[in-house]
Amino acid sequence: MKNIPEVKLGIIAVSRDCFPRELSEKRRKAVAEKAKGGIYECPVIVENETDMIKAVEDVKANGCNALTVFLGNFGPETPETLIAQKFDGPVMFAAAAEGDGNLIDGRGDAYCGMLNCSYNLAMRRLKAYIPEKPVGSAQDIANEIENFIPIARAVIGLKNLKIITFGPRPQDFFACNAPIKGLYDLGVEIEENSELDLLVSYRNHAEDKRIPAICEDMAKELGTKGNNYPEILPRMAQFELTLLDWADEHKGARQYVAFADKCWPAFPEQFGFEPCYVNSRLASKDIPVACEVDIYGALSEYIGACISDDAVTLLDINNTVPKSLYENYIKNVTDYSLTDTFMAFHCGNTPSCKMCADRAVKYQLIQHRLLEPEGSSPDFTRGTLEGDIAAGDITFYRLQCDSEGVLRSYIAEGEVLDVQTGSFGSIGVFAIPEMGRFYRHVLIEKRFPHHGAVAFGHYGRALFEVFKYFGIQDIAYNQPESLPYPTENPFK
């Protein structure tokens, strides 16, 4: 099951009829030659509305689901912007810089044309992506096209996404509860179900003939050191098949799915295990399963999966780093202050490919204390994938609909440090520059919940552009000390 889109990009060159159309054609070819991975060149040069219709029909017939509209010269305002209206997919607009020094017959004036283009897009209330540097050489535009691909993948993905939930938010976790209006504003569909629906489907998968093959794959992934409870693999394999089949049978008119499931307190006792390891496996297949019915956590994870084309996870912004650990292992080997660091944690949902080699299936310590007899061996609270998260670059981010129905977001780039946590769950020591100020003046001030999505790499640029594309007005980030937050006390 392929759960994120494959982008096939096309390029359409436009030309104002009082400029040489050959200029646009030549410059389009130069861009296509520089573009990595190939790009479909529409042979139609758009000078008028009839050309526009022909060009859009041509790129659709050739399977394009994303477009670059390229102003090889000044460009015709009406036809070029109508491309974005008629084409059913994300569109980037870019323009040619003057290249060969010929400023008589070889001058295109696309630098000017981009201004009229953006003005006309706004007048028509059309969504389009315009990069930070929209005018440039063939190589410059090819670079912007490469940056556009993950953005287009996320836009296409959300347009075709359904989030499937099971159960209401757990008691005292109302922070994960949010209006679904924001999903509809983004074009995302949602299907809300009962935990009983999931339990019935799970029981119907008993003795499924595919279970042994899933168990074998789980055992191979975990290895001998990570497979602490081989006897519960069939239960977890049965659950994995339940979710995969539900996704396939319930996605309806949508192509892609993400889950937000209620995982406690009733789940482990009724199903006989914790769902965390299965959640981690689905996340590694680009099917996020957010904990605690965190709908916007699932949405955020899915956006990150599209942008990074890689596994993501959802973690609590959980606890401070002990001063002793900081002074012994962080202070003298990094430039981070103590307040730049924190620990991000969840019970055991992070994909194994993003964890250290000693990760293993264990039991959920907190649930064991709460749900099983004191002093007893863990039984149905087994099933978490635990270990330290591997060191490397990360982006911590979230898209959230607040209690007033307003979509807002944050993005912060940082890293997981190569420091042993000495704790339990899927956990890591995270460092984000100016995290202390960001925590107070963004996360607390703007009422974000405790869950954040994590992409493994620095993807702030693409996330920012995706959020901007969808009209998110509030895109917060970890501002440097030289740039105070509006609510930051200047007399501190």
Q: Which of 109, 127, 156 is the last residue of a domain?
A: 156
Q: How confident is the model at residue 4 (pLDDT cuts 50, 70, 90)?
A: very high
CATH number, position 260: 3.40.275.10
Which tens digits make up the pLDDT trace of 210-252? 999 999 999 999 999 999 999 999 999 999 999 999 999 999 9
Q: What is the pLDDT of residue 174?
A: 64
Q: How confident is the model at residue 101 (pLDDT cuts 50, 70, 90)?
A: confident
Domain assignment of residue 319, yes or no: yes
Quick one: 423 and 277 in the same domain?
yes
Q: Which of 125, 156, 187 is the last residue of a domain?
A: 156
CA proximity to 303, closest of 201, 182, 181, 193: 182
Quick one: 353 and 464 in the same domain?
yes
d(CA 151, CA 144): 11
Domain assignment of residue 491, yes or no: no
Quick one: 276 and 407 in the same domain?
yes
Quick one: 295 and 405 in the same domain?
yes
- How large is the greatest C-alpha to C-alpha distance in the chain, in angstroms? 87
Enter the tokens of residue 448: 């974000």
Quick one: 151 and 172 in the same domain?
no
Quick one: 196 and 136 in the same domain?
no
Q: Which of 124, 156, 188 is the last residue of a domain?
A: 156
Q: How confident is the model at residue 19 (pLDDT cuts 50, 70, 90)?
A: confident
- Quickly list H helices, 251-287: 266-271, 276-284
Domain assignment of residue 324, yes or no: yes
Q: How confident is the model at residue 145 (pLDDT cuts 50, 70, 90)?
A: very high
Q: Which residue has the higher pLDDT, 176 or 164?
A: 164
Q: How confident is the model at residue 105 (pLDDT cuts 50, 70, 90)?
A: confident
Residue 39 sits in which domain range? 9-156
Quick one: 178 and 54 in the same domain?
no
d(CA 406, CA 182): 7
Enter the tokens of residue 98: 């003057």
Q: What is the pLDDT of residue 214?
A: 98
Quick one: 227 and 129 in the same domain?
no
Indicate the number of domains in the chain. Answer: 2
Q: Which phi and psi (to 5°) does residue 13 adopt? A: -95, 140
Quick one: 137 and 167 in the same domain?
no
Quick one: 94 and 182 in the same domain?
no
Enter the tokens of residue 390: 């591997």
Quick one: 36 and 110 in the same domain?
yes
Q: Which residues of 368-380 are buried (b: 16+ CB within 10 A; e: fewer)?
A: beebbeeeeebbb
Quick one: 64 and 130 in the same domain?
yes
3-class secondary structure per residue, 369-423: HHHCCCCCCCCCCEEEEEEEECCEEEEEEEEEECCCCCEEEEEEEEEECCCCCCC
Q: What share of the chain is helix, strand, coil (3-state, %, to 5)?
A: 40, 20, 40
Integer angstrom CA distances of residue 88 from 60, 63, 67, 131 = 9, 12, 10, 20
Please give the mean pLDDT across all residues of the chain: 95
Domain assignment of residue 482, yes or no: no
Average pLDDT over residues 383-398: 98
CATH number, position 91: 3.40.50.10940
The three-class DSSP label of residue 312 is strand
Residue type, 359: R
Domain assignment of residue 4, yes or no: no
Planar angle of CA 447, 283, 431, nearest 5 degrees:
50
